Chain A
Amino acid sequence: MAKLDLVMFEEEYNQLQEIIGRLQVDSSSKVVFLVDKNGQQIAAAGDVRSIDATSLASLTAGNVAATDGLAKLIGEKEFSLLFHEGEKDNLHISIVGKRGILVVIFDQSSSLALVRLRVKKASRELQEIFERVEYRAQDQGGENAKFESPFTEITDEDIDRLFGD
C-alpha cells in the first residue's frame, strides 16, 4: 500500500521552521520555502507575503518532478539542484531527503556562493528531521499507532459542512 501519510508534529515543525528561519538570515536571502515533493508547502521564512506561496509550492514541485523525469531519461538518479537566474531575483532549488524541496529566493544583496554554502548546512539539519518523519510514515504500525487519529468519526454532516450546505 503506497498510502504513507506524512504526519508532522509540533516539535518537528518548530525545528524545521527554526532551521529555515536561520537559513534565510544567514544567506541574506529574501524568502525561503520548504515544500513537499507533492507540491504542498511545509514551512516558510522571510518576506513571505510578497509571493503567492501556494502556487510557488505547486510549480516548484512540478518543476522538480519534470526535472526528475529528465534525469531518469538520460540515466541519472536525480539532479540535486536547480538554479534560475533572473534580472533582479534568483531562484535556488535543492532537494532535501527523499521528499523535501528547499527554495531560496535572493537578489544582489546575496550571492550564489553564499546561498549554496548556507543551503548545504541547513540541508543536513533538515534531512535529519525529514528522515524521522519519513521513517515514521513507513513504520505504519509503529509510532503512528501511538496517537489517536482525529478522524475516527467523520459523518456525512461533516462533509456537507465542508461544502457549505
Chain B
Amino acid sequence: MMERDTKIKILLIEDDPVITEFLRTGLKYEGYDVVSFDNGIQGLDSLNRNEFDLVILDIVLPDIDGFEICRRIRAMGQEVPILMLTVKKEISDRVKGLDSGADDYLTKPFSFEELVARIRALLRRSGRIGQGKMLNAAGVVLDPSTRHVRIHGRNIELTPTEFGLLELFMRHPYRVFTRETLLNRVLGYDFDGGTNVIDVHISHLRKKLGDRPARLIRTVYGVGYSFQPGDDAT
C-alpha cells in the first residue's frame, strides 16, 4: 500500500492556529505527514532542506505573502505542487495565484473533503501517486475512477454506500473505524439516524465479497470495523 509504505509529506504554511490545528490533525488522519509553519521565512527554509510532495499555502501571512512565497519556490527550481488558500473571492486573486506558480486554489471556508480531493488530484497530476491507481488487496481490486470492483477476477455490483465503505477500508487497511466515523464519512455529516445502518451495509458488503466468516472486514467488538487484508492467505 502506497499510503502505508511511503508517506506523502505535506508542508503547510498558515498563520491561523486553528486552521493549522485542524489541517494537521485531519491530514495526518488521512495518512499524510504534515509539517507546519506560521510564517513564510521558516517555511521556505524548511522547503530548502527537506523534500516535500505538496505545499499548502495561505495568502495572508505576517512576513511575506503567499504569492511571493510561490514565486520564490518556483525560483528555487522546485516543481512541488502548490495549493493556495485564501478568503478573497476575487478572480484576480486566483489569476495572480496561478500566475505566481500555484497549481490550485481553495477559497475559505472550504470543506475538508474538498481539500483532500484536491490534494489527491494534485498528487496524481504530479505523478507522486499512481495515475488512476487501482486499490488492490486480498484479491479485491477496486478502481476509484470507474467505480468497478472485481473479486478474484469476477465483477461484483455494489451500491454507492457499499462502494464508499469498501474504498475507505481499502485506502486505510488495518485502521479501526468506529460506526460513527463510517457513518459520517460514507453517508455524510448531516445523516440523521442510528449507527446500526452501518451494520446493515457491512453485512451486505460481506455477503457480496464472499466474506462469510468476516475475515476481511473484521468486527472489532465494542468499537467498530477494520479491514485486514494481510491475514487472508490468498
Task: Decide if A and B are genuine partners.
Answer: no
A interface, CB within 8 angstroms of B: none
